[in-house]
Amino acid sequence: MAKLKRSLKPIPKFASEADERQFWETHDSAAYVDWSKATVVSLPNLKPSTETISLRLPAPLLSDLKALANKRDVPYQSLLKVFVADRVAAEWRSSKHQGALANKALQPTSRSGRKITVKRVARAARG
């Protein structure tokens, strides 16, 4: 039995990367791309963009992190990235944060569970 040839919809022109991202989040690519003709591509030198940050950790926590990294024979910064990535992924998967994270970062909370705001931190700093 011969396969029926279907016509593909033309991919629209996008004004920005954000517009394109929004489009592909809401449309099935199968209507626009013939995936049967796709080939595997290898990009061995492609590295994700990184941004340098400054992070202050309590000395005992940093010592524990370095000890764990040493046991695994990896740099402690790399292990920290893995730990942070795992936790962020878990937060995204949790039903409590599903959808709420789409437009804003996680809201940090205090030990009592109250949301930490810039005002509350400033008030606490003033005493």
Q: What's the pTM?
A: 0.43
**3 is a domain residue:** no
Range of the domain at 68: 58-127
**30 is a domain residue:** no
| Distance of alpha carbon 9 from alpha carbon 119, whole angstroms | 51
Give the other-Cβ count within 10 Å of 65's Cβ.
Answer: 16
**36 is a domain residue:** no
More confident residue, 75 or 5: 75
Q: Quick one: CA dihedral 52, 57, 61, 67, positive or negative? A: positive
Q: Structural domain tally of the chain?
A: 1
**108 is a domain residue:** yes
Gyration radius (Cα) of the chain, Å: 23
**2 is a domain residue:** no
pLDDT of residue 28: 92
**45 is a domain residue:** no
The DSSP result for 23-92, as a single string, is: HHHHS-GGGT--GGG------TT-------------HHHHHHHHHHHHHHTS-HHHHHHHHHHHHHHHHH
**107 is a domain residue:** yes
pLDDT (tens digit per residue) in 38-96: 898 888 888 878 889 999 999 999 999 999 999 999 999 999 999 999 999 998 888 66
pLDDT-derived band at 97 (thresholds 50, 70, 90) equals low
pLDDT (tens digit per residue) in 104-126: 444 444 444 445 444 444 444 44
Asked whether the predicted pLDDT for residue 19 surpasses 80, the reply is: yes
**86 is a domain residue:** yes
